[in-house]
Amino acid sequence: MSSVPTDRVVNETTLRVRYAETDAMGIVYHTNYLIWFEVGRGELSRQMGVDYRTWEEMGLYLPVVEASCRYLAPARYGDLVIISTWVEEARSRTVIFAYEARLQETGQVLAMGRTVHVCVNRAGQTTQIPPAWREIMSGKTGEK
């Protein structure tokens, strides 16, 4: 069952599984989901108008400090996979992104994950996320 919220901005990115992403068993190797999550995170950020290039131009960075993924079913070469990405929580210095990967053909959920990011400056010191960006990243749509 899908865990994608209806009260937040959600980006859906469709990817086709490449042969190089599969292992000897013919299924997607587990670390590729984290790469797909990064693709989804980048697309969501662009959609919200706060893409990573803008962060860097401001001297700010959002390194991943924690990542998790729960694998529920395999994807295989050639499958079309939809990566849904949303901001679970935006605080003064951290942002948490959540993800769901599912098969386009059937809607079967393949994996769910999240990444925690901390805002740092060029010197690597923790700093505040600009309040206007935090508001944008809260991702609330106003729908229930």
| Centroid of chain to Cα 101 | 10
Judge whether 51 counts as a catalytic residue: no
Q: Three-state SS string across 58-91, please?
A: CCEECCEEEEEEEECCCCECCCEEEEEEEEEEEC
In order of 14, 19, 28, 37, the CA distances from 116 in angstroms are 23, 29, 23, 12
Both structure tokens of 92: 């003064």
Q: Of these residues, 7, 23, 51, 79, which one is catalytic? A: 23
Using CA atoms, how far apart are residues 101 and 110, in angstroms rounded to an integer? 5
Active site residues: 23
